[in-house]
Amino acid sequence: MSKQSPSSRIPFEPAPELVVRVHSSLLRWYAAEQRNLPWRSTDDAYAILVSEIMLQQTQVERVLPKYQQFLAAFPTLADLAAASTAEVISVWVPLGYNRRAVSLQSIARQVMAEYEGRIPESIDELLKLKGVGRYTAGAIACFAYHKQVATVDTNIRRVLQRIFLGLEHSEPKLNDVQALALAEQVLPVGEAYNWNQALMDLGATVCTSSNPQCVRCPLQENCCAFAEMSQHSLFPSGMVLRQLRKVAEKEANYQGKNQAQPFTSTNRYFRGRIVDFLRTLPASERIPLADLGRQIKPTFCDDDLPWLQKIVGGLVKDGLLDCAGNGVRLP
């Protein structure tokens, strides 16, 4: 048997009786409180793939209407693969991060070309799809094909850390490999679908990053983070909430250090402006870079051309633009 590298070892092994209690409490809570989401009423791997790509960096509330609209425009994987990239981007707007739309179509085309139009079932094969990482591969395997596999997104990682290890800024901390190893270790037999969905729901609605609702958490009695804070206070619920909020504030402050620049001055803002403007042009029509610059930035001048070329270069690299000597257009 091969030895585990230090980075892949779980800091400790949860007691079996604790794991059993957590299984029972969380699955019972999920049976009563689960969110009614449309991608949970299907085992169509294509529809689940669409939902998983859309949910990356985007809140559920924003995804819900676009998910239905996207599937109406491209009902099957073959429809998506055959569409023009410009059409796919047009339907994707205004979800943002338009490169996800290009990546989704690229996956569809790869599946059509290499897998006879059927999204593979195994994690190993799913990981061969360009743009599919371990979380998405696990989600498709579990939610579409009901494989008994663990998967870890931001919510799942946070819940597992707090329940079995304690607060995020306490020791020990989980790296990515350890988080997956822990998720696999505590996966209940035959319950992967409900368990993974339950962890995500708890992280999204109760055990949130910025406003954890410990007083109504079904795992409160079995939570290491709750116990960690409770022992220091005569009023444990309030103490835990304050400490967890401090954790979230530290993370928010760290992430916000480099966000002083107004969004309307960022390259991401102008990337969106470029794509939105090009969508208004007739199909296949190109526009010179200088003209494009004046359309997206009223103060554009010749000195801004290198800046614009850099943004356009990134969009071309992401598959969002087609650039030639006489200008740019959507693919």
Active site residues: 52
How crowded is residue 303: how many other Cβ atoms within 10 Å of its Cβ? 7
What is the SS3 assignment for 25? helix
Tokens 């995500």 belong to 200
Q: Give the Cα separation of 279 and 257 in Å (integer).
A: 34
State how beta strands 322-324 and 327-329 pair.
antiparallel
H helix intervals, 55-167: 60-73, 77-82, 85-92, 99-114, 123-126, 134-143, 154-160
Q: How many CA atoms lie within 13 A of 138 on its CB side?
A: 19
As given in the structure block, the two tokens for residue 187 are: 């996966």
Report the alpha-carbon distance of residue 35 to residue 179 in Å, rounded: 24
